[in-house]
Chain A
Amino acid sequence: MTATTLTTTLAMENAGYIIGSYVVTLVVIGGFATRVLLKGRRLADQVDDADKYWT
């Protein structure tokens, strides 16, 4: 995204709601993905590799 288009986006009407929808979506996705990864890692540490069908 160029600096001009970013400036245009920030200056547009209702920018708070529009950018807010992207921020909420990306933050929730990031949080959910992190939680899934960390939980998987924590559980995987307690199990031998031979019992993991994906290894």
Chain B
Amino acid sequence: MQPERQQMTSTNSATTEPLSTRAGTGTRATRVLGIATIVMMVWLVAFGLGFSPADRDQEEAVRIMYVHVPTVWLAYLAFVITALCSALYFFTKKHSLGFDRVAGASAEIGVTFMALTLVSGMLWGRITWGVFWQWDARLTTTALLFVSYIGYLSVRRLGGSHHQRAKRSAIIGMLAVIEIPLVHWSVRLWRGLHQEATMASTDLDPKIDGLMLFSLFVGIIAFTLLYVWLLLHRTRSLALEDLLDDQGLDRALDARRHEAATAGATP
């Protein structure tokens, strides 16, 4: 296998043949993680739509909670990881781009799941409030959080060197996370339509049926596994993008040097 791999490597820039002998950004660990995620997702659907009981007040509409709460949990987790990795990039002497890539990958995942939170929340709102959207404090601050991280992702695409990108986005990543406590406490600060937190209440005594609580935990575990799986793959993709960018720049510089040398040698 080894000689064959070396031969493929040597034809690197001359042809469009694949250079890799392995597929994609996966490893055995990510495959195991992916299978575990799928199993947990099947459990979530079974418990969320089947085995968990209807609520006394919200009746069947409570079933949306088993996807709504895990999606917002994942989005918060992703944004906190973005902020942590932004700080690790910004404040450490090494300024490792690895931290910047994890921050960027995490923000992409967070934005996707924040969008899902808004959609599932709108469907839940349509049942309980009779409308898809209200300019309620929780909904408005959540929408602002979503827009802030779209801004973060836009700044990452502004161009410049990898370190310029990392510095600019690290500052936004550390600032935007401050909105999360505001979103969480908005229901207490400004009384609105949205209910207060069932799980993350300050008395640490969730007032919820046992099977409902179990279903919710299944959802949170499933989405946390999904987050780790997505983060590993997306971070590796970003590393490949950066590497190909650098290789493209090196090739362009070599071409210019060759042109200059040729022009200088011509009488």
Contacts and interface: CB of A to CB of B under 8 A. Distances in A.
Main secondary structure on A side of the interface with B? helix
B63 A37 contact: no
Interface in B20-77: 20-27, 41, 45-46, 48-51, 54, 59-61, 63-64, 67-68, 71
Given A43-B244, A47-B240, A48-B9, A37 B64 contact: no
B170 to A, nearest CB: 21
Contact of B20 (A13, A26, A48): A48
A17 B17 CA distance: 48
Contacts of A51: 243
Nearest to A51: B243
A1 B116 contact: no
Given A9-B50, A18-B63, A36-B237, A55 B22 contact: yes
Given A49-B22, A51-B243, A17 B51 contact: no
Contact of B236 (A6, A17, A19, A54): A54
13 contacts: A9-B49, A9-B50, A9-B63, A14-B60, A14-B127, A18-B63, A22-B48, A25-B120, A33-B230, A37-B24, A40-B237, A45-B20, A52-B239
A21 B230 contact: no
B167 interface: no
A5 B51 contact: yes
Given A1-B46, A47-B20, A52 B119 contact: no
Given A14-B60, A22-B49, A24-B120, 14 more contacts: A1-B46, A2-B50, A12-B54, A14-B127, A18-B49, A24-B123, A25-B116, A32-B230, A41-B23, A41-B24, A45-B19, A45-B20, A49-B22, A51-B243
Report, nearest first, the 7 A-B pairs whose CB atoms are least far apart.
A40-B25, A41-B24, A43-B240, A1-B50, A5-B50, A45-B18, A12-B60
Interface of B: 5, 9, 12, 18-27, 41, 45-46, 48-51, 54, 59-61, 63-64, 67-68, 71, 109, 112, 115-116, 119-120, 123-124, 126-127, 226, 229-230, 233-234, 236-237, 239-241, 243-244
B50 A46 contact: no
A49 B239 contact: no
A1 B116 CA distance: 24
Contact of A32 (B19, B61, B112, B244): B112
A43 to B, nearest CB: 4
Contacts of A53: 239
Contacts of B127: 14, 17-18
A2 B64 CA distance: 20
Contacts of B61: 14, 17-18
B49 A52 contact: no
Nearest to B61: A14
A35 B207 CA distance: 39
B177 to A, nearest CB: 22
A21 B67 contact: yes
